[in-house]
């Protein structure tokens, strides 16, 4: 292989590959159209059962969640019934590829890779959460002084709090879209500034605005969505299209500052489409099946809940009346209060206990849900010898229990259409091997995405109601109150171009874990003990 080239990664977090191809083909996205025409184009796939919280950690470590241990920002602490807030940089049990590059003497610039932490001592620079969909640490940098330089020159990203923090009126959606567009433009300026400084071997920048707009504004993109509001759409236009166009424009501007000796990767990690599934009803399903036990109300007696609900509704009403600049300032505090109220309404008295299981007696339940995203739910078996009060013995008893539970879940149908609501139920141990299996759910419940799920949080009160039924379960109804109207799918897209790389289409689908070893081997460095494999077609072309 000739002397190591420079490698540039430009990524679009949760960029939908179908929209990217469609809008590239019709000229809406000219920069991405050029990248797809000039490069080697391939399809990607994220981790089965874990293509929400685990996608980025598996991307940058090259290993499965059974080896890095991360699947959600709030996870069960193995051997207990306690939950912990997971800080990826401290929690994840595998090293990111840029650490290996740095140790080997390669200079790196790592900007806003989601769900990552600061690598202190890194040879080069790193920014975490200047603009990221998942806020964990807040804005941090390496070296630490870089933070103040960035803030002085570029300020903060216009979206200052989590996009999941609160409900939105028509005016809120207009402001949200505008903030995302301004954020993309500012991120492009920041990227170009540090890209032009040069001296790096590997440079990465991730645009998370596509992730945010996909979750929050899918109902304004897709007229088929039950939450689609023509009047709001008249004012906002299609926010998804607008943000994709802004990212495309940013890519075009950045590309003008890249020399011909650089290998460029454009990556759209995993798809986005309509929200779906019955994750918000899973706890009730397990209660109805007499597998999860409801614990007695403590703080949240009925009269207490009444007062909390009034305060919750008053908070929303006041929020809607606030000027935009006040919302930006007060957003994080209101989000925390909102989360606490929702938690209390569900019966919770332990702040780290996820709200959806806050009224479940974990100690005396045979199983209970674990946070794993909405597309694929997680279930934990209360296993003897692992949990403090394990009720299900490992071996044949656990096998029979899982088989019966899977059968009952697969028999559930959408009460309105009669179609199956659950697509598959898989055991995690049958999919993955690793030292961190105990950090993960035991069962993965994949929901059927035929039914588009609305959200009452954006005024869609009818479309957000889900009625399900089965012989064992009877009939169960509920209203989805979660603010997202779009959600993930595992498929992604990438293109690579540069010296020696021929344009065309890769004949196979690559894993999201394959990029880390590809990047390192392009720069003459090997990653030890990984699950991903280098993309040999690209390596062969540049040799």
Whether 398 shows a pLDDT value over 70: the answer reads: yes
Q: Is residue 93 part of a domain?
A: yes
pLDDT band at 366 (very low <50, low <70, confident <90, very high): very high
Q: Of the candidates 429, 426, 487, 425, which has an alpha carbon nearest to the alpha carbon of residue 453?
A: 487
Residue with tokens 């209660």: 287
> Which among 366, 355, 349 has a CA at the least distance from the CA of 296?
349
Which of 236-250, 323-337, 460-474 has the lowest average pLDDT?
A: 323-337
Alpha-carbon span 11 to 210, nearest angstrom: 10
Task: Specify the pTM.
Answer: 0.89
For 192-215, the pLDDT digits (tens) are 999 999 999 999 999 999 999 999
- The whole-number average pLDDT for the span 93-110 is 97
DSSP code string of 141-192: EESTTHHHHHHHHH---S--S-TTSS---HHHHHHHHHHHHHHHHHHHHHHH
Residue 329: the pLDDT is: 54
Same domain? 213 vs 356: no
pLDDT at 330: 57
Tokens standing for 361?
């007696």
- pLDDT above 90 as % of the chain: 75
**pLDDT score for 156:** 92
Same domain, yes or no: 471 and 501: no
3-state helix, strand, coil in the chain (%, to 5): 40, 20, 40
Pairing state of beta strands 413-414 and 271-274?
unpaired
| CB-count burial class (<10 Å; 0-12, 13-18, 19+) for 407 | exposed
Residues 261 and 288 in one domain: no
Domain match, 311 and 379 both = no
Give Cα 59 to chain centroid, integer Å.
Answer: 12
Chain-centroid distance of CA 118 in Å reads 19
pLDDT, tens digit, 9 for 90 and up, residues 342-352: 444 444 444 45
Residues 108 and 256 in one domain: yes
For residue 351, the model assigns a pLDDT of 45
Spatial neighbors of 134 by CB under 8 A, at least 6 apart, are 73, 114, 115
Q: 267 in a domain, yes or no?
A: yes
Range of the domain at 421: 279-294+352-483
pLDDT at residue number 536: 97
The fraction of the chain above a pLDDT of 70, given in percent, is: 88
Question: Per-residue pLDDT for 324 more than 60?
Answer: no
Q: 118-143: string of b/e by CB count within 10 Å (b at 16+)? A: bbeebbbbbbbbbbbbbbbbebbbbe
Residues 110 and 39 placed together within one structural domain of the fold:
yes
Q: What is the pLDDT of residue 343?
A: 44
Q: Indicate whether 216 and 265 sit together in one domain.
A: yes
Asked if omega into 346 is within 30° of 0 (cis), the reply is: no
Q: In this structure, are 93 and 137 located in the same domain?
A: yes
Domain boundary among 454, 483, 512: 483
Q: Verify that 331 and 477 share a domain, yes or no.
A: no
Model confidence pLDDT, tens digit, residues 15-45: 999 999 999 999 999 999 999 999 999 999 9
Residues 520-533 have pLDDT tens digits of 999 999 999 999 99
DSSP assignment of 114-127 equals: TT----TT-SEEEE
Output the domain CATH number for residue 209.
Answer: 3.40.720.10
Asked if residue 382 is part of any domain, the answer here is yes
Q: Tell me if 146 is assigned to some domain.
A: yes
Q: Is residue 337 part of a domain?
A: yes
How many domains does the chain fold into?
A: 3
Residue 355 has pLDDT above 90, yes or no: no
Task: Report the pLDDT value the prediction gives residue 100, as an integer from 0 to 100.
Answer: 98
Average pLDDT, the chain: 89
* Average confidence (pLDDT) over 328-347: 50
- Asked if residue 187 and residue 152 are part of one domain, the reply reads yes
First-to-last alpha carbon distance for the chain, in angstroms, is 4
pLDDT at 333: 54
Q: Of 483, 498, 523, which residue constitutes the final position of a domain?
A: 483
Three-class SS state of 524: coil
Q: What are the strands, taking DSSP E only, across 63-139?
A: 74-76, 83-85, 108-111, 124-128
* 356 pLDDT tier (thresholds 50, 70, 90): confident
> What is the 8-class DSSP label of residue 297?
P
Spatial CB neighbours of 82, under 8 Å, sequence gap ≥ 6: 76, 352
pLDDT tens column, 146-175: 999 999 999 999 887 777 765 567 778 888
Domain assignment of residue 1, yes or no: no
pLDDT (0 to 100) of residue 482: 86
Strand ranges inside 366-421, DSSP E: 367-370, 376-381, 413-414
What secondary structure does DSSP assign to 192-259, as a single string? HHHHHH---SEEEEEE-HHHHHHHHHHHHH-TTSTT--HHHHHHH--HHHHHHHHHHHHHHHHHTT--
DSSP, residue by residue, 463-510 = TTEEEEEETTTEEEEEE---S-SEEEESEEEEEEESTTPPPEEEEEEE
Q: Is residue 158 part of a domain?
A: yes
Residues 35 and 184 in one domain: yes
Q: Are strands 376-381 and 443-447 parallel, antiparallel or unpaired?
A: antiparallel
Tell me: do 25 and 118 sit in the same domain.
yes
Among 11, 58, 3, which Cα is nearest to 514's? 58
Q: How many helices (H) and strands (E) does the chain have?
A: 18, 20
* Window from 362-376, 427-441, 445-459, 464-478 with minimum mean pLDDT: 445-459
- Give the span between the Cα atoms of 309 and 324, in whole angstroms: 25
Higher pLDDT, 54 or 336: 54
Last residue of a domain, one of 483, 514, 531: 483
Residue 191: alpha-carbon gap to chain centroid: 23
CA 187-190-196 angle, 5° bins: 135
For residue 35, being part of any structural domain is answered with yes
CB contact burial 329-352 (16+ within 10 A = b; e otherwise): eebeebbeebeebbbbbbbbeeee
pLDDT recorded at residue 500: 93
Beta carbons within 8 Å of 152's beta carbon, 6+ residues apart: none
Angstrom distance (rounded) from CA 349 to CA 343: 8
pLDDT of residue 136: 85
């Amino acid at each position: 292989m000739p002397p190591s080239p420079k490698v540039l990664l430009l990524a679009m977090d949760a960029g939908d590959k179908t929209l990217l191809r469609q809008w590239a083909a019709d000229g809406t996205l000219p920069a991405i159209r050029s990248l797809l025409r000039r490069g080697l184009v391939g399809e990607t796939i994220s981790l089965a059962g874990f293509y929400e919280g685990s996608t980025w950690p598996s991307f940058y470590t090259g290993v499965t969640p059974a080896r890095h241990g991360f699947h959600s920002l709030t996870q069960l602490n193995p051997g207990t019934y306690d939950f912990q807030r997971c800080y990826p940089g401290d929690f994840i049990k595998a090293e990111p590829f840029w650490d290996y590059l740095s140790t080997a003497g390669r200079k790196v610039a790592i900007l806003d890779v989601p769900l990552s932490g600061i690598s202190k001592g890194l040879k080069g620079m790193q920014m975490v959460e200047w603009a990221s969909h998942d806020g964990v640490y807040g804005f941090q940098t390496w070296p630490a002084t870089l933070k103040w330089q960035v803030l002085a020159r570029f300020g903060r990203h216009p979206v200052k709090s989590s996009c999941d923090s609160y409900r939105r009126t028509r005016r809120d959606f207009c402001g949200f879209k505008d903030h995302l567009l301004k954020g993309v433009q500012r991120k492009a300026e920041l990227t170009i500034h540090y890209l032009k400084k040069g001296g790096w071997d590997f440079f990465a920048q991730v645009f998370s605005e596509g992730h945010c707009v996909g979750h929050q504004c899918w109902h304004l993109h897709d007229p088929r969505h039950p939450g689609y509001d023509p009047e709001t759409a008249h004012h906002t236009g299609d926010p998804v299209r607008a943000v994709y166009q802004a990212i495309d424009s940013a890519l075009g501007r950045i590309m003008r500052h890249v020399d011909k000796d650089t290998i460029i990767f454009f990556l759209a990690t995993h798809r986005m489409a309509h929200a779906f599934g019955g994750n918000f009803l899973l706890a009730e399903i397990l209660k109805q099946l007499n597998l999860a036990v409801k614990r007695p109300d403590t703080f949240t007696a009925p009269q207490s809940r009444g007062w909390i609900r009034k305060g919750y509704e008053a908070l929303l009403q006041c929020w809607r009346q606030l000027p935009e600049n006040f919302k930006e300032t007060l957003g994080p505090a209101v989000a925390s209060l909102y989360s606490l109220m929702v938690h209390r309404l569900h019966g919770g008295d332990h702040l780290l206990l996820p709200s959806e299981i806050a009224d479940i007696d974990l100690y005396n339940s045979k199983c209970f849900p674990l946070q794993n995203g909405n597309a694929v739910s997680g279930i934990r078996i209360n296993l003897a010898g692992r949990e403090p009060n394990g009720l299900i013995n490992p071996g044949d008893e656990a096998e029979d229990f899982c088989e019966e539970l899977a059968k009952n879940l697969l028999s559930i149908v959408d009460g309105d259409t009669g179609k199956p609501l659950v697509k598959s139920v898989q055991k995690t141990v049958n999919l993955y091997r690793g030292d961190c299996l105990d950090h993960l759910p035991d069962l993965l419940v994949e929901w059927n995405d035929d039914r588009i799920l609305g959200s009452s949080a954006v005024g869609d009160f009818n479309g957000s109601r889900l009625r399900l039924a089965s012989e064992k379960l009877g009939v169960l109804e509920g209203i989805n109150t979660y603010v997202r109207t779009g959600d993930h799918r595992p498929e992604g897209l990438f293109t690579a171009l540069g010296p020696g790389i021929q344009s065309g289409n890769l004949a196979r689908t690559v894993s999201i874990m394959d990029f880390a070893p590809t990047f390192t081997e392009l720069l003459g460095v090997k990653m030890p003990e990984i699950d991903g494999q280098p993309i040999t077609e690209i390596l062969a072309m540049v040799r």
